[in-house]
Amino acid sequence: MSEDTKGLNRRQFLTIIGASGGAVACSPKHGPGKIVPLLTPPAEGVPGKPTFYRSLCRECPAGCGVTARTREGRVVKLEGNPEHPVNRGALCARGQAGLTRLYDPRRPRTPLRRTAGGGHAAAGWEQALDELAGALRAPPLGEVVVLSRAESGSLGAIQEDFTRALGDRATRIVYEPFDPAALRAASQKAFGLEEVPVYRIDRAAMIVSLGADFLESWLSPVEHARMLSEARSAEGGRAKLLFLGPYLGVTAAAADSWIPTAPGAEREIALALCREIQGRARGALPPEGAAALGTILAPYDPATVERKAGLPAGTLAGLARDLLAAPSSVVLPPAPTASGTDATAAALAVTLLNQLLGNHGKTVLYGLDPGEERPAALADLRDLASRMAAGRVSVLITVDADPVATLPAELRFAEAMAKVPLTASIATGRSATGEHSTYILPELHTLETWSDSHVRRGILGLGQPVMRPIFDARSSGDILLELGARLGLAAEQFPFRSFEEFWRDRASSYAMLEENWTGDLLAAVRSGQQVGGFFSKTPRPPADVTWQPGALEAFHSAATELSGDPAGPILALAPDLLRYDGRSGGLPWMEELGDPVTTVAWATPLVVAPALAAQLGVEEGDVVRAFAGQENAEFPIYVWSGLAPGVVALSAGSSAALALLPAKDDHIGGGRAFLSTRVRLARTGKHVQLVKYEGSQSQQGRDLFRTVPSRDARLPEAEHGRSMYPPAKPGARRWAMAVDLDRCTGCEACVAACYAENNLPVVGADQVSRGRAMRWIRIERYVDGRDASRKASFLPMLCQQCGEAPCEMVCPADATYHNPEGLNAQVYNRCIGTRYCANNCPYKVRVFNFEDHAWPEPEPMRLNPDVTVRDKGVMEKCTFCVQRIRLAENMARDEGRPLRDGDVVPACVQTCPSRALTFGDLQDKGSAIFRVSKSPRGYHVLGELNTQPAITYLARVDKGGRA
Amino acid sequence: MSHRELATAGATPAAAGTPAIPDIETPVVASMGLPGPILWTLIVLSGAAAALGGWCWSVQIQRGMVVTGLQNTEGWGVYITNFVFWVGIAHCGTLVSAILFLFRARFRTAVYRAAEMMTVIAVTTAGLFPILHVGRPWFAYWLFPYPNQRHLWVNFKSPLLWDVFAVSTYFTVSAVFLFVGMIPDLAALRARVSGWRSKLYGLLSLGWRNSDGEWRSFGRGYLFFAALATPLVISVHSVVSWDFAMAILPGWHSTLFAPYFVAGAIFSGVAMLITLLIPLRRALGLSDLITRHHLDMLGQLVLFTSLIVAYSYGTEFFLAAFGGTALERSTFAYRAFGSYAPFFWTMVFCNCINPMLLFFKRFRTTTAGLLWVCIPVNVGMWLERFVIIATSLSHNQEPFTWRIYHPSLYEAGITLGSFGWFFFWYLILVKVMPSLSIAELKESAHGEDEEVVAHAA
C-alpha cells in the first residue's frame, strides 16, 4: 500500500475496530434483560409439552374439580377433573369460562381507590390495607361486616376467624343469591336435619322435576347431567323424566314431556300427588297417621289443582300411577329461582311425596351435607341494608359477593353502601358492588391461589395455584391475614404466616380426621393435591331419616303471594345456564355463546308467549317497560312458545331482573322468594335488533333431529342414489364421532370447550348479529309440536368430516382436502377466501374470518399454542381437534405402543357432562365409536345427500316424536 | 335492404345506389373528435365512480370482508352477482360479431364493433370481481396453475378454477377478435388523423396496405376467428353457470343452468348493447349508420332470448315441484314468496313480461320503446343473478342458519364503481377507436356485403 493512499490503512482500521469493540465491551449500561429461555427450566416445564394441575372450579357452589392444562407456565384450558366424584371429568360452559375470568382484560390489576369524581384510580396495597386497618380501628367503633359468597372451606373459615377476632361488632354474612334455603328448612321440619339432600337421579327409573332446573343451575348441574344420562341408559330400562313448570328451558327440553303448569303451583301439585298415592304409599307415613294426613291433603283434589295449576286431572292421575309403577323414582323440588313465599312448604310437600314413595335413603339421601356454610336469609340482608343506611356500619368488606347486582332494587343497597365510611370489595373481576366500593381489592383467581371446597361428606376438593399470578392481586385469605397483622390480631387468632399455611393446616387436619390418614400429613396433602382433593373410597352411608311430628302444619301456610298489577302476567325467572346469578355475565364466552333456549346472545330479553305478544302488539326486539311495584325496567322482547299461559320470563342471570323483583322471602325458610310479582308491560316504541343465532325455529320437516319410539327401534336407512364415483379407498384411519341426541341436553359445554381449545375469537354482539360468529360447533335448537306438546330439540352441529365432502371439490386453491385419516383438513395458509366451500357445505359449519380479531391483553396468554390464530380472509372449521390427535399419537410413539381407543379425545367430547359424544377410529372394529355408530338409532343428518359424514347421530327416544 | 337505406340516409346528397364512400369515414372520424361537454361530464363522473369503488375496495382490503354484508350463511352476494352480470353483458359482442357473422345477418355490420368493445370492457370488469370478492386478494394469483416455488397446485375440480380459464380465454379471444377486425379501419383512418393517433393507428394497423392478398387473408382469418369464437359464447357462460350448478345447494344444483345462463347472458348483453347504442348514436352523430332497422333486429333478438329466459324460469319451478326433493321445493317457494320475493317479481316483470312489448313493431323501432324494455332488462338480469345467489344461500339445507343478506354500502360502492369503470373505459374506447366498422360498412354501401365472405371463400 503506497504512502499516498487516501482513507484508512490496515493499522488505522484495526485501531478503530479495537477501540470501538473495547468501548462496547466496557459499556456501563446493560442491554435488555433475559432474552434467552431458561437454561435450566423447572423440572415440570418442558417447552411444548402440557403440564396438568388439579384445582377447583368456583364459578358456582356445586364444587366441581378441574384439571388445568398449562403450557410454558400459563393455564390454557380447563377440563373437568376425572377423579372428582362430582363432575368426573366433565365441566359445564360456565366452569370453562373461569379461564376467561382469569385472563379478563377488565380485571383490576392493582388495588383501586374511589376518587372524588366517582371513578377508581390505582392505589398501592400498602395504602389500601393501611386505610382499611385504620378504618377498622378508628373510633367510634361501628359495625364491621364481612359479606361473602358461600365458601365451604378455608376461605370461609378464615373469614369466620377474622370476624370472631374482631369481636362482637363484627359479623360475617354469607350471601348466596340462589341458596336452596327452602330445602334445608324443609328437611329441618321433616327430619330435624338442616341440610340439603343429595338427589340420586341416576338410581331412579322415573324422575319428576317440579320446577327444578337441575341441568341448568340447580345444585349441581354437571353431576345431574351425568346422572340423567346414566338413568337413561340404565340396563333395566330407560328412565323417564317429566318436567312440570312454566318455562320450556333446557331441563324441560331434556324431559320426555314438558307439562306447562302455573308458576308456584308445585306445592299444590306435590300435595295432590301425595293425595293420589297416600293409600298406596311405599314409605312410612308421618306420625300423625293416615287420617290426619288425609285431612291435610283433602283440599288438593285433582279438580282444584287443575284449576289452579293448569295440570289436567288426567295427567295428574297418570303421573301418580307412573310414579307408583316405577321400580324407583325421585321427585325434585322447585329450584329457588322458581319458588315463591311458600318455598319451604313446597319443598316439604315434595319431601312428603318422596317419603310416601319410599325414596328417602334410596334416591334422596340425607346425612351427606357437611353444612359448613349457612347462607343468610333475605331478612338478614334487608337488616344489613337498613343498618348501613342508618350509618351504623363503619366497614363493609365484600368477598366475591355482588349484592348490588343481585339484591332487589328496593333494598337500595348501593345507596346504603354510600353511608358506610369504608367499603372494600375483594373480587377477581369488576362487579357492580366494586363500582360502589371505596376500594376494589383485586383478588387472585382460583387458579392462582389455594382453595378448598367441602362439597359433601367424603368429598373435599382441593384447589391449588396452577400458574403465577398475572396481576398484582392477592388471595382474600391473605388480605384478611394482613389486616389481622395490622390490627394486632395475629398472634392468638391467626397463628399463620400466610393463607397457604392456613389452607395446608386445614387440609392436613381433614386428612387426619376424615380420611384417617396417619403418618406424614404433608405427604397426604400433596397426594390430595395431585388427585384434586380427598375423595373417600367408600361412599359415606346416608343417614336414616324419620319423619318428625308437626311438620305437616307447614302446609297451612298460604300460597305464594304475588304483588303487582293483578291483571298482568306473572314474572318467572328462566334459569340462565351461562350467567348463573349474573356472576358469569359479562364474561366474553358466556355472552357470545347465546342462551341455548332463546339462542339470544349478549342480552337477556323478556321472554313472552306469542299470544301475549300479539295482545301487546309487540314483536321480537321491541322494547317494553316492565313495572313491578315501585320498580320498573326496560327489556327487549323475545317471543317463545314454551311458556305456560299468563307467564313471562326473565333470565335469572340478569341483574336487571333480580333488581326488579320485590324483596319477598319464604315465610318459613327465610330465603328470597323470586317468584313474587306480576308485571305490567308497557310498550316503549323502541326497537332493538336482538342478537340471536336461530334462523328458523322449525326444522321445516327436514328430519334433521330424529326420534325413535324406543331405545331399540331401528331407523330406516337414508335413501340416496348410488354414487357416480368408486368408493374412496380406506385411509390409515377414519376418525369419527357419534352424537347421542337422547343424552345431549343442549348445555353448550362443548361449544365453550371448542372456544378454549381452538382459540375461537369472540366477535361481539354486532358481528354475531351479522351472522359472523366464529364457532366450530353450535347447538341448533328447533321447536316442534304445538302448545302443550311443544318440544324443543337440541342438535349439536359441527363439521361432519364427510367422506365425500362437498367443500373439498369446490376449493380452487386446494386449501381444504381429504387427509388419509378421513379428516377434511383446512390449510389456512393456502386459503384465499373464496367462501365457496362454505356455500357448498350442506351443514353450514364453515366459518369465515371477516376481520382480524382483537385479543386484548392479557388474553393472548390463554391462547392454545398448539392451534394457529387465524387472520382475516381465511376460512376455518372443526378439525376434530387435530392437535389432540397428534399429541396422542406422539405420546403413544414415545411410549412405543400403538394408539389405543380412547387416547384421542377432542375437547367437546372430553367436557360433555351428559357423555353424549363418542369419538374414535371407525376402522378399529373394537372401538367404542365402531360399536356406537352401529346403533339401530344411528343416522346421518341430511343422509340423502350421500356426503358420507363421519358423524353418526343417535336418534332421541321419544314415543310422541317430533312433528 | 340495409345498404340502400344507408345510402339514402347518407349525409351527402347522392343518387340512390351510388356509392358514397366518404359518407362513412367522415362521420366515423367525426365521432372520434374531442368529446363534448356532456361526454366529458360522463367520463369524469364514471371515472369518479370507479375511483369511489377503488376506495371502497381499499377499505375492504384493510379491514377485511367485515365491511360487506356477507356472513357465514351467505358467503356470496353482490360481488358474484356483478361478476355474472358483467360476464353476461360481455356475451353480446361475440354473439353479434361471430355468430351473426356466420349466420350472414347483415344488420350486425353497423353494431358489431360497438358490441365487441362492450364485450372487452365488460369482461375486464367481470374479471375484477373474482379478485374483489376473495378474502385475501393479495393471493389471488394462486388461482393460476404455473410451476412455482410453493410446490402447490390448483384444484382442477373446482368450478371457480374453470372460471379463471373461461374468463381469461374469453377475454383473450374477444380482445384479439376486436383488434383484428379493426386493422383495415385503423389503416384507413391513419391518414385522416394526425399526431399521436396517427402514430398509434399506424402501429396498430400492422402495416396494412389494402392489398388484395391482405384482404383475402383477412377475410379468411376473420371467418376462422368467428368460427372459433362461436363455441366460446356458449362455453363461457356455461362455465360461469357451473359455479352454481356444480354446488349441491338447492336452487343452484340444476342441469338447466348452462343453457339458461347462456340465453340470459345474450338477453342481458343485447339489452345492454341497445341501452348503450341509443344514446351513443346520437352523441356521436351515427344515427345514419346505426339505423332503426338495426335496432329493430336487435330488439327481436331481445324478444327471442326473453322467451327462452321466461321458459327457463318456468322450467326451474317445474323441476322443483315435479322432480325435486323437499329441499328444492322449499327453496323455490322461498324464492317466489319469501323475503326476496319483491326482487323476484321485479325480475319476472323486467325479464318476462315487459319484453313482450317488443312483439309490437312500434316498440322495436322507437328508441323510447326500446329503452323502456331494455333498461328494465338490465335491472332484471342483475336481479336474476342476485335472487339465485341470495335465496339459495339464505334458505339452505340447515334451517337454523337461515339468515337474510343485506348488502352493505361498501358493496354498493364497489358495484357502482364497476359501472363507473365500465363506462369510463367504454367512453374512452369509442372516442379513441372507430366504433363502427368502416370497411364492412363500405362493403354494405357498395351492395357487396358478401365481399368479406367472398374473399374468404
What separation in angstroms does the CA of B394 have from each of A215, A765, A843, B326, B336?
A: 34, 21, 13, 16, 13
CATH code of residue A399:
3.40.50.740
Residues 62-121 of B with CB under 8 A from A: 63-66, 68-76
Task: Please give the backbone phi and psi of residue A648, each rounded to the nearest 5 degrees, phi first.
Answer: -120, 155
Average pLDDT over every residue of B277-289: 82
Please indicate, yes or no, whether residues A354 and A378 belong to a single structural domain of this protein: no
Q: How many structural domains comprise chain A? A: 4
Burial (0-12, 13-18, 19+ Cβ within 10 Å), A215: buried
B145 touches A at CB < 8 Å: no
Give residue-wise pLDDT tens across range A886-914: 999 999 999 999 999 999 999 999 999 99
Give residue-wise pLDDT tens across range A370-419: 988 999 999 999 999 999 999 999 999 999 999 999 999 999 999 999 99
B131 touches A at CB < 8 Å: no
> Which ipTM score applies to this complex?
0.92
Please indicate, yes or no, whether residues A901 and A942 belong to a single structural domain of this protein: yes
CATH code of residue A878:
3.30.70.20
Please indicate, yes or no, whether residues A765 and A800 belong to a single structural domain of this protein: yes
Examine residue A57 and state whether it is found in any structural domain, yes or no: no
Q: How far is A451 from chain B (nearest CA, A)?
A: 42
Give residue-wise pLDDT tens across range B93-132: 788 888 888 888 777 887 888 889 999 999 999 999 999 9
Q: pLDDT-derived band of residue B234, with 50, 70 and 90 as boundaries?
A: confident
| Distance of alpha carbon A754 from alpha carbon B236, whole angstroms | 43
Average pLDDT over every residue of A930-944: 94
Residue A643 neighbours by CB distance under 10 Å: 25
Q: pLDDT-derived band of residue A30, with 50, 70 and 90 as boundaries?
A: low
Q: How far is A305 from chain B (nearest CA, A)?
A: 38
Per CB-CB distance under 8 Å, the chain B contacts of A846 are 72
Beta strand segments in A860-915, E: 875-876
Please indicate, yes or no, whether residues A353 and A395 belong to a single structural domain of this protein: no
- Provide the pLDDT for residue B189: 87
Q: pLDDT-derived band of residue A507, with 50, 70 and 90 as boundaries?
A: very high
| Distance of alpha carbon A584 from alpha carbon B174, whole angstroms | 63
Examine residue A49 and state whether it is found in any structural domain, yes or no: no
Per CB-CB distance under 8 Å, the chain B contacts of A799 are none
- Provide the pLDDT for residue B23: 64
In chain A, which residue's Cα lies nearest the Cα of B405? A770
Q: Where are the domains of chain B?
A: 2-456
- Provide the pLDDT for residue A730: 80
Q: How far is B326 from chain A (nearest CA, A)?
A: 8
Task: Say if CB A620 and CB A612 are below 8 A apart.
Answer: no
- Provide the pLDDT for residue A75: 95
Residues 229-248 of B with CB under 8 A from A: 243, 246-248
- Provide the pLDDT for residue A490: 64
Q: How far is B402 from chain A (nearest CA, A)?
A: 4
Task: Say if CB A607 and CB A655 are below 8 A apart.
Answer: no
Domain end: A331, A365, A399, which one? A365
- Provide the pLDDT for residue A763: 96
- Provide the pLDDT for residue B14: 39
Q: How far is B398 from chain A (nearest CA, A)?
A: 6
Q: How far is A644 from chain B (nearest CA, A)?
A: 25
Examine residue A943 and state whether it is found in any structural domain, yes or no: yes
Examine residue A320 and state whether it is found in any structural domain, yes or no: yes
| Domain of residue A713, residue span | 707-719+730-957
Average pLDDT over every residue of A36-62: 80
Q: What do you get for the CA distance between the two ends of chain B, in Å? A: 23
R_g of chain B computed on alpha carbons: 23
Inter-chain CB proximity B64 and A872 less than 8 Å: yes
Per CB-CB distance under 8 Å, the chain A contacts of B160 are 810, 812, 834, 836
B253 touches A at CB < 8 Å: no
* Minimum mean pLDDT range among A75-89, A828-842, B187-201: B187-201
> Which of the pair, A180 or A32, is modelled with greater confidence?
A180
Examine residue A285 and state whether it is found in any structural domain, yes or no: yes
CATH code of residue A672:
2.40.40.20
In chain A, which residue's Cα lies nearest the Cα of B394? A695
A723 touches B at CB < 8 Å: no
Residues 365-404 of B with CB under 8 A from A: 393, 396-403
CB pairs < 8 Å spanning A and B:
167
Q: How far is B361 from chain A (nearest CA, A)?
A: 45
| Distance of alpha carbon B96 from alpha carbon B102, whole angstroms | 10
Pinpoint the alpha helices (H) of B134-211: 159-190, 195-204
A834 touches B at CB < 8 Å: yes
Give residue-wise pLDDT tens across range B435-454: 888 888 777 766 544 444 44
Please indicate, yes or no, whether residues A589 and A647 belong to a single structural domain of this protein: yes
A829 touches B at CB < 8 Å: no
Which of A694, A830, A840 lies at the smallest CB-CB distance from B249?
A840
Q: pLDDT-derived band of residue A28, with 50, 70 and 90 as boundaries?
A: low
Residue B256 has pLDDT above 50, yes or no: yes
Please indicate, yes or no, whether residues A515 and A652 belong to a single structural domain of this protein: no
- Provide the pLDDT for residue A35: 53
Examine residue A13 and state whether it is found in any structural domain, yes or no: no
Examine residue A94 and state whether it is found in any structural domain, yes or no: no
Inter-chain CB proximity A773 and B397 less than 8 Å: no
Please indicate, yes or no, whether residues A159 and A186 belong to a single structural domain of this protein: no
Give residue-wise pLDDT tens across range B332-384: 999 999 999 999 999 999 999 999 999 999 999 999 999 999 999 999 999 99
3-state secondary structure A297-323: HCCCCHHHHHHHHCCCHHHHHHHHHHH
Q: pLDDT-derived band of residue B35, with 50, 70 and 90 as boundaries?
A: confident
The number of residues making up chain A comes to 963
Please indicate, yes or no, whether residues A450 and A399 belong to a single structural domain of this protein: yes
Domain end: A327, A347, A365, which one? A365
Average pLDDT over every residue of B64-76: 95
- Provide the pLDDT for residue A429: 93
- Provide the pLDDT for residue A32: 52
CATH code of residue A221:
3.40.228.10
Give residue-wise pLDDT tens across range A133-161: 999 998 888 999 999 999 989 999 999 99
Per CB-CB distance under 8 Å, the chain A contacts of B65 are 833, 848, 850-851, 872-873
Give residue-wise pLDDT tens across range A729-752: 788 899 999 999 999 999 999 999
Please indicate, yes or no, whether residues A216 and A272 belong to a single structural domain of this protein: yes
Inter-chain CB proximity B135 and A842 less than 8 Å: no
Work out the mean pLDDT of chain B and round it to a whole number: 87
Inter-chain CB proximity A843 and B327 less than 8 Å: no
Residue A289 neighbours by CB distance under 10 Å: 9
Which of A693, A782, A839 lies at the smallest CB-CB distance from B76?
A839
Which of B57, B158, B243, B329 to substitute to test the interface with A, most A CBs within 10 Å? B158
- Provide the pLDDT for residue B5: 36
Residue A53 has pLDDT above 90, yes or no: yes
Residue A534 has pLDDT above 60, yes or no: yes
Please indicate, yes or no, whether residues A159 and A201 belong to a single structural domain of this protein: no
* Minimum mean pLDDT range among A336-345, A594-603, B2-11, B97-106: B2-11
Per CB-CB distance under 8 Å, the chain A contacts of B71 are 770-772, 850
- Least Cα distance to A576 among A59, A44, A26 occurs for A59
Please indicate, yes or no, whether residues A679 and A789 belong to a single structural domain of this protein: no
Average pLDDT over every residue of A418-442: 95
Residues 82-111 of A with CB under 8 A from B: none
Task: Say if CB B100 and CB B108 are below 8 A apart.
Answer: yes
Check residue A201 and report its DSSP letter: G
Grouping H, G, I as helix, E, B as strand and the rest as coil, residue B129 is helix
In chain B, which residue's Cα lies nearest the Cα of A807? B247
- Least Cα distance to A341 among A307, A367, A378 occurs for A378
Check residue A563 and report its DSSP letter: B
Average pLDDT over every residue of A88-92: 96
- Provide the pLDDT for residue B4: 33
| Distance of alpha carbon B65 from alpha carbon B134, whole angstroms | 8
Which of A814, A839, A874 lies at the smallest CB-CB distance from B247?
A839
Q: How far is A258 from chain B (nearest CA, A)?
A: 22
Give residue-wise pLDDT tens across range A586-625: 999 999 999 999 999 999 999 999 999 999 999 999 999 9
Q: How far is A793 from chain B (nearest CA, A)?
A: 12
Average pLDDT over every residue of A114-130: 93
Q: pLDDT-derived band of residue B6, with 50, 70 and 90 as boundaries?
A: very low
Q: How far is B341 from chain A (nearest CA, A)?
A: 18
Per CB-CB distance under 8 Å, the chain A contacts of B130 are 834
| Distance of alpha carbon A339 from alpha carbon A802, whole angstroms | 48
Residue B293 has pLDDT above 90, yes or no: no
Which of A835, A852, A945 lies at the smallest CB-CB distance from B75?
A835
| Distance of alpha carbon B346 from alpha carbon B353, whole angstroms | 10
Per CB-CB distance under 8 Å, the chain B contacts of A832 are 134-137, 139-140, 142-143
Examine residue A51 and state whether it is found in any structural domain, yes or no: no
Omega into A858 within 30° of 0, i.e. cis?
yes
Inter-chain CB proximity A809 and B161 less than 8 Å: no
Please indicate, yes or no, whether residues A240 and A378 belong to a single structural domain of this protein: no
| Distance of alpha carbon B212 from alpha carbon A367, whole angstroms | 114
Work out the mean pLDDT of chain A and round it to a whole number: 92
According to CATH, the superfamily of the domain at B2-456 is Formate dehydrogenase/DMSO reductase domain (1.20.1630.10)
Inter-chain CB proximity A848 and B75 less than 8 Å: yes
In chain A, which residue's Cα lies nearest the Cα of B131? A834
- Provide the pLDDT for residue A789: 66
Domain end: A518, A533, A548, which one? A533
Residue A728 has pLDDT above 80, yes or no: no
